[in-house]
Amino acid sequence: MGRKKDFKAAKSFTLGLQELAWLAKYSADKKLKASEVMNKLLRTAMQNDVKEEKKAIQRGPIAFCTKCMQRTEFENVKDNWLCFECGEDKTEVIEYHLERARP
Ligand SMILES: [Zn+2]
């Protein structure tokens, strides 16, 4: 059994002219391959995307709590939406807003 060959992936896609010009200049200035620059940029975008997703999962919807008299975050506890601050059940209100927010 010989040495495993490196897995290579090549994909073709189109970039805008301005973006391409920037990429050429930027990678030349930084003495990096264009693919390294692209991978770095994509990696950053991926990490931001994951962060946003996690934030969306951790944070519940924000709505006005009549008990707290201010906008607060609501958390889902056993299919009920409770005010994160005082525990007031606002399931009907939150469900209504979530329903309306759907495309
Ligand atoms: Zn409250």
Q: What is the pLDDT of residues 85-97, one digit of tens each?
A: 999 999 998 888 8
- Please report, for the chain, the start and end positions of each structural domain, with discontinuous segments joined by +: 17-57, 62-101
What token pair was written down for 74?
């609501």
Ligand 1 centroid–CA 51 distance in Å is: 27
Let me know: does 86 contact 75? Beta carbons within 8 Å: no
| Distance between CA atoms of residues 45 and 47, nearest Å | 5
Strand order in the sheet with 70-77: 62-65, 70-77, 80-83
Ligand 1 centroid–CA 31 distance in Å is: 55
pLDDT attached to residue 33: 94
pLDDT attached to residue 3: 66
pLDDT attached to residue 59: 65
Ligand 1 centroid–CA 63 distance in Å is: 9
Residues of the chain with pLDDT under 70: 1-3, 54-59
Q: Which of 46, 55, 85 is nearest to 69 (CA)?
A: 85
Question: Which backbone phi and psi does 102 adopt, to 5 degrees?
Answer: -70, 140
Ligand 1 centroid–CA 70 distance in Å is: 8
Ligand 1 centroid–CA 50 distance in Å is: 29
Model-wide pTM > 0.85: no
